[in-house]
Amino acid sequence: MSTLLEIAYKAVDDKKGEDIVVLNMEGVSLIADQFIICHANSDRQVQAIAREVSDKAAEAGHHVKRIEGFDLGKWILVDLGDVVVHVFHRDERGYYNLEKLWGDAPMLNMVDGQ
């Protein structure tokens, strides 16, 4: 049985999300327990990653609270409750720099099970 974080991370990785970072937000933010941040090289790939995260979470019985920014494909936020996934277009990621904004949140090391 995989955790929601593992399901979301694997979905991002399966759709070739780049430079995947997982931040432990416990004690840092009330928004979520973990953030997953990644980017892709095209609007379509950004959308494909977000769709995969949403689909895999739902298939595992987790409720997708909301998805924001899907139509533009520049920065899509997938709110799964305890886990929030931020999928950026490559050009947008550096501009928003969430890793620096949430710099006091420790990074989690996710090891691919394969």
In the chain the domains, ranked by start, together with CATH numbers, are 4-108 (3.30.460.10)
Structure confidence at residue 114 (pLDDT): 33
- How confident is residue 11, by pLDDT bands cut at 50, 70 and 90? very high
Given a cut of 50, whether residue 16 has pLDDT beyond it is yes
Residues whose CB is less than 8 angstroms from the CB of residue 77 and which lie 6 or more positions away in sequence, other chains included? 66, 67, 68, 69, 84, 85, 86, 87
- pTM for the predicted model, two decimal places: 0.93
Distance, in Å, from the CA atom of 94 to the CA atom of 91, rounded to the nearest integer, reads 7
- How confident is residue 93, by pLDDT bands cut at 50, 70 and 90? very high
Of 114, 113, 109, 112, which Cα lies nearest the Cα of 34?
Answer: 109
Q: Strand pairing of 34-40 and 83-89?
A: parallel
Bridge partners of residue 68, in order along the sequence: 77
Mean pLDDT of the 64-80 span: 96
Distance, in Å, from the CA atom of 35 to the CA atom of 99, rounded to the nearest integer, reads 10
Mean per-residue pLDDT over the chain, rounded: 92
